[in-house]
Amino acid sequence: MEEKLTFCRQCEILNQLPKDVLEYTNKLYRLLDKKDRATDSLISKRLDICEGCEKNTAGTCQSCGCYVAFRAMKKDGSCPQKKW
């Protein structure tokens, strides 16, 4: 079975992404070495914070311009506003 981002069922972040961006996000997730991935619970915690952040616009961080899912999936990812 193809791996894809499934950690975010409770939040709307992934649902806000355009379909092609979601596919790209899942592709990056699969390409990311497992040792470099954040745990599902950590990703979920991060995206919960992003979901309530005033800088989040449809899954894009207006502080850095990245899709927040990209930042959150990396173990060493960080929030440019130091919220996580």
Question: How many residues interact with ligand SF4 (rule CB under 6 A)?
Answer: 13
CB of 53 to ligand SF4, least distance (A): 3
- CA distances 74 to 23, 28, 78, Å, are 17, 10, 8
Q: Which of 14, 22, 50, 69 binds ligand SF4 (CB under 6 A)?
A: 50
Q: Is the dihedral of CA 17, 20, 23, 25 positive or negative?
A: negative
Q: Which is nearer to ligand SF4, 1 or 41 (CB)?
A: 41
The dihedral region occupied by 37, where left means phi > 0, alpha psi between -120 and 50, and beta the remainder, is beta
**Which residues in 53-82 contact ligand SF4 (CB under 6 A)?**
53, 55-56, 61, 63, 68, 71, 79-81
Helix, strand, or coil (residue 32)? coil
In the complex, least distance from residue 1 CB atom to ligand SF4, rounded to whole angstroms? 29
